[in-house]
Amino acid sequence: MDTIRLYFRSMKMLLRSHLQYPASFILQLCSQAVMLGGELLAVLLIIDRFDSLNQWSGGDLLFFFGVMSVTFYIMECFARGVTSFGPLVQKGTLDIFLLRPRGVLTQVICYQLDPRRLTAILVGVAAMVMGGRQSNVTWTALKALALAEAIVFGGLVVLGLFFIEAMFSVRSVKSIEVVNALTYGGRSACQYPIDIYPEPLKILFTAVAPFALTIHLPVSYILGKNLFGWPDAAAFLCPLAGGAFFLIMYVLLQFALRYYRSTGS
């Protein structure tokens, strides 16, 4: 409880600090909207040219795009500290966290907020609504649950990926570009259904960064597609892999932090 209160108080303070520069804040809100809006436009163009991609209709693609964007940008917005963990290690801010009687992860999450991403989240929601309408999704309680799972566990995968980035920056200062390919690359790639990709990418996003399990499956269920012949329950059970991925990365990060404390920066 205490930690949650600390989180909300931190967020309140950080929001105020962003509002110190109102003009820049509004402009950045706009820029975020334009940025993701541009990507949305690209999807719309593709839909316009080709009515469908494999088994996926235009509405389906929009819906995929929306879910992935919402998942990713919620994390970028409310757990910005984690998504910029790498730079925090490089700047030596980690030392300050280690000097306080709280968990490092708690402090990292409480350290930054990126409210500019709110518009990006909104664009994602808009894409989801539009896509859902076009594909005539009829919402049921189970479908809502599938969507919630996709966003929650997909978000955990995103955090886990940023943990990898943090581990790399503990070990050596500049090799995070490799990991960026997984984080930001994963986001871009998994805005589309996984099965349009060649085999190696499918494996990458199933076994390594399990976006296929956390997002692709539940969204397929919502859109009423067959799940590779798997029973419907798979749409609810597979996303849990995202939680497992997060836990593994969390444990590895603890090892990395122990290493940091024995080597210094």
- Give CA–CA dist 162/139, Å, rounded: 33
- Give CA–CA dist 133/175, Å, rounded: 43
| Span of 1-9, 65-73, 230-238, 248-256 interacting with other proteins by CB under 8 A | 1-9
- In the region spanning residues 51 to 110, those forming contacts with other proteins, defined by CB under 8 A, are 92, 95-96, 98-102, 107
- Give CA–CA dist 189/258, Å, rounded: 33
User: Smallest gap, in angstroms, from Cβ of residue 100 to other proteins?
Assistant: 5
C-alpha closest to that of 75 among 14, 155, 150, 164: 155
133 near other proteins (CB under 8 A): no
For the window 106-125, what string marks contact with other proteins as x by the rule CB under 8 A? -x------------------
> Kindly report the CA angle at 233 between 230 and 238, in degrees rounded to 5?
80
138 near other proteins (CB under 8 A): no
Q: Which of 1, 4, 5, 138 binds other proteins (CB under 8 A)?
A: 5
| Residues ≥6 apart with Cβ < 8 Å to 92 | 265
Residue with smaller CB distance to other proteins, 100 or 133: 100
- Give CA–CA dist 220/62, Å, rounded: 13
Residue with smaller CB distance to other proteins, 133 or 261: 261
For residue 38, the SS3 value is helix
262 near other proteins (CB under 8 A): yes
Please say whether the beta carbons of 68 and 187 come within 8 A.
yes
User: Smallest gap, in angstroms, from Cβ of residue 88 to other proteins?
Assistant: 13
Q: Which of 10, 183, 191, 220 binds other proteins (CB under 8 A)?
A: 10
* CA dihedral over 170, 171, 173, 178, signed as positive or negative: negative
171 near other proteins (CB under 8 A): no
Residue with smaller CB distance to other proteins, 138 or 263: 263
16 near other proteins (CB under 8 A): yes
C-alpha closest to that of 134 among 69, 52, 193, 192: 52
C-alpha closest to that of 80 among 162, 145, 148, 195: 162
263 near other proteins (CB under 8 A): yes
| Span of 9-17, 32-40, 175-183, 186-194 interacting with other proteins by CB under 8 A | 9-17
Residue with smaller CB distance to other proteins, 138 or 172: 172
Q: Cα 89 to the chain's mean position, in Å?
A: 21
Q: Write down the residue that tokens 């757990």 correspond to.
A: 79
Binding positions for other proteins, rule: CB under 8 A: 2, 5-6, 9-10, 13-14, 16-18, 20, 92, 95-96, 98-102, 107, 261-264
